[in-house]
Amino acid sequence: MNEALPLKGFTKCAACGTPMTGYINRKKKIYYYRCQKKGCNCNINANAMKRAFEEQLKSRSIDSKYIEPLKKQLALTFSYMNKKNELNRLSIQKRLAEIKGKIDKIESRFVTGDINKELYEKHTARFKEEEGQIRDELGKVDFRLSNLDKYINFSVNFSGNLCKIWLSGDYICKQKLQGIVYPEGMIYSKQEGKYLTTRTNYILAEMLRLSDGLKRNENGLILESINPSASVGPVGLEPTTNGL
């Protein structure tokens, strides 16, 4: 674990695909990354690679101008996709209003002397129990929705500050972020002096696509779904990664 070499292991050599390791040239006091394959002779100045990686992160970051619009967009996208959930919530709320109405009614019948105390208590107990059950159901639905907000906030803030978070983090944090953003690692081309395009975290890619859509569509939000697999639970990009 060397703070100066967070990209080792994560970065693969473009010439042979072998993960790179790192070392220091003690005379020059300069860090290098090196391909681990014998005879590949691929050495890269650690600072040059760091800058190249920063460029990569910047290119995958959401423009700060679109952070807030994107939060709205994602909320819309998810609520569009969660329409069923939303309908479910409405029907639960309707049932809750009904049971409250029944409780009010039984109370006024008791007050006016229509029913006796025994009947009043019997019915009230039953209705209150039902009310509790409905509130539990509503709690479950609302819990999901409030978590969704938290999730959207976290993911958008995270994807808008990739480079900043990476630069300010320690070795562990840097490696974590690298793994989240580029689950398959990355390939560095010595010839081109830059990282080659690799698959990005799915939800990050979808967020970038949506923010591009917002750029093109200055009039407002876009009503469209993203790939359902993203709604199931984007692996690795949850508020639990807050430890970063």
Q: Does 13 bind Zn ion (CB under 5 A)?
A: yes
Among 4, 9, 21, 37, binds Zn ion (CB under 5 A): 37
Q: Does 19 bind Zn ion (CB under 5 A)?
A: no
Binding mask 39-58 for Zn ion (x = CB under 5 A): -x-x----------------
CB of 188 to Zn ion, least distance (A): 10
Q: Please report the sign of the dihedral spanned by the C-alpha atoms of residue 136, residue 140, residue 145, residue 150.
A: positive
Burial of 74 per CB tally in 10 Å (0-12, 13-18, 19+): buried
Decide whether 37 or 126 has the Cβ nearer to Zn ion: 37
Question: Which tokens go with 135?
Answer: 């509130």
Burial of 86 per CB tally in 10 Å (0-12, 13-18, 19+): middle
Decide whether 13 or 203 has the Cβ nearer to Zn ion: 13
Decide whether 4 or 187 has the Cβ nearer to Zn ion: 187
Among 35, 57, 141, 237, binds Zn ion (CB under 5 A): 35
Q: Which stretch binds Zn ion (CB under 5 A): 2-10, 27-35, 99-107, 138-146?
A: 27-35
Q: Does 173 bind Zn ion (CB under 5 A)?
A: no
Decide whether 40 or 115 has the Cβ nearer to Zn ion: 40
Q: Does 16 bind Zn ion (CB under 5 A)?
A: yes
Q: Does 20 bind Zn ion (CB under 5 A)?
A: no
* Binding residues for Zn ion (CB under 5 A): 13, 15-16, 18, 35, 37, 40, 42
